[in-house]
Structure 1
Amino acid sequence: MMISTYAAWLASILFAGTMTYAGVKDVATMTISNRLVAVLAIAFALLAPAVGLDVATIASSVLAASAVLACSFAFFALGWIGGGDAKLLPVATLWLGADLALPFLVYVSVIGAAVTVALIQFRRVPLPVVLEKRDWSSRLHEPQSGIPYGAAMAPAALLLLPESHWFSALL
């Protein structure tokens, strides 16, 4: 096996695992760590050339992620999303690449809408006693706590990962 194949496997596992962790952590704590976002950004910078992505592909990914970063920070400034969400969205876009940026944003929007509707319904009923003693469920039940969009970004990223340049390098 070539080094690029190992790097592609490592990248795919790292991205899938990190996005899954971010989604679960966001539901549990309503936070997405800056370290997690930094690890993904640094890992992309190291693994993209190792996989054999050309300069144009890397540049277009950076450009797409930059556009998403500008929009997500505007959404953060308006109070529509949290700071962790505003950072995770562009770094996930960076990993998926420019070709999958629009499908990723659409998937995040659709899954995010489903998560939002589910949380609205969840917040309308009394919290079961078994969940009252759990910090994460009590926090999710509070209408003022917001929506954990990491829970939408993770499955959207995982759905598109097989179509990404990371998987193309494996074939």
Structure 2
Amino acid sequence: MTGEYFRLALLCALGLLLVGASVTDLRSRIISNRLNLSIAAMAPLWWLANGLPLWPGMAAQLALAVAVFAIFAALFALGCMGGGDVKMLGALALWFPWQALLSMLMVMAVLGGVVTIVTVVHHRMTRRLGQPQIPYGVAISVAALWLIGERYLNQFA
């Protein structure tokens, strides 16, 4: 029973960090390294709380996170994503199995399109110069929160 409360506490902490990422990304278009490091640092606690074995479980999560980071770092190099977004995706990949992560990425892509459209429309309506900066961390955070809610909290529905 204590383990269940610990897992719930970890999910709540992750949720709070994701809300914080959304707020700071909306305000300043920056997701801090500390926030991303906190998300990543809590993942091993999540693994232990869920009884994930060192091999292949933890190793697979690390490999998944490295792969996700590498793919999105390439998008960063092409100017398609911000560095904080890439780091947050890599940190979140430590938390979820690959199937769940794929679902999160699909939801993130749809929400990212909505965030982009809203941002561009607002940028043009306010007649600002230059290219708008898209707060993609909002889409990432909401998609991860959706995944947490769908996967871990809706088991009672």
Q: In the alignment, is the contact (CA less than 8 A) between 2:46 and 2:95 conserved in 1? A: no
Q: TM-score, normalised by structure 2?
A: 0.87
Q: Distance in 2 between matches of 1:83 and 1:43?
A: 20
2:157 pairs with 1:157: no
Alignment of 1:130-141 (within 5 A): none
Q: In the alignment, is the contact (CA less than 8 A) between 1:123 and 1:143 conserved in 2? A: no
Q: Distance in 1 between matches of 2:100 and 2:130?
A: 33
Q: Where does residue 50 of structure 1 map in the other structure? A: 49
Q: Distance in 2 between matches of 1:143 and 1:114?
A: 20
Q: Where does residue 69 of structure 2 map in the other structure? A: 69
How far did 1:92 drift?
1.4
Q: Where does residue 109 of structure 1 map in the other structure? A: 109
Q: Distance in 2 between matches of 1:119 and 1:79?
A: 17
Q: Secondary structure at the match of 1:95?
A: coil
Number of residue pairs the alignment of both structures matches: 154
Q: Where does residue 119 of structure 1 map in the other structure? A: 119
2:133 pairs with 1:146: yes
Structure 2 gaps of 5+ residues are none
What is the percentage of aligned positions where both structures have the same residue? Answer: 33
Q: In the alignment, is the contact (CA less than 8 A) between 1:26 and 1:150 conserved in 2? A: yes
Q: What is the CA deviation profile of residues 62-109 of structure 1, one whole-angstrom value per residue up to 9, with x for unaligned ones?
A: 222211100111111111111101100121122122221111111111
Structure 1 gaps of 5+ residues are 128-140
Q: In the alignment, is the contact (CA less than 8 A) between 1:111 and 1:156 conserved in 2? A: yes
Q: Where does residue 88 of structure 1 map in the other structure? A: 88
Q: In the alignment, is the contact (CA less than 8 A) between 1:96 and 1:157 conserved in 2? A: no
Larger Rg: 1
Q: In the alignment, is the contact (CA less than 8 A) between 1:5 and 1:51 conserved in 2? A: no
Per the alignment, do residues 113 and 99 of structure 1 end up closer, same or farther by CA in structure 2, a change over 3 Å counting?
same
Which deviates further from its counterpart, 48-57 or 70-79?
48-57
Q: Secondary structure at the match of 1:144?
A: coil
Q: TM-score, normalised by structure 1?
A: 0.81
**Whose RCO is larger (CA < 8 A, sep 6+)?**
1
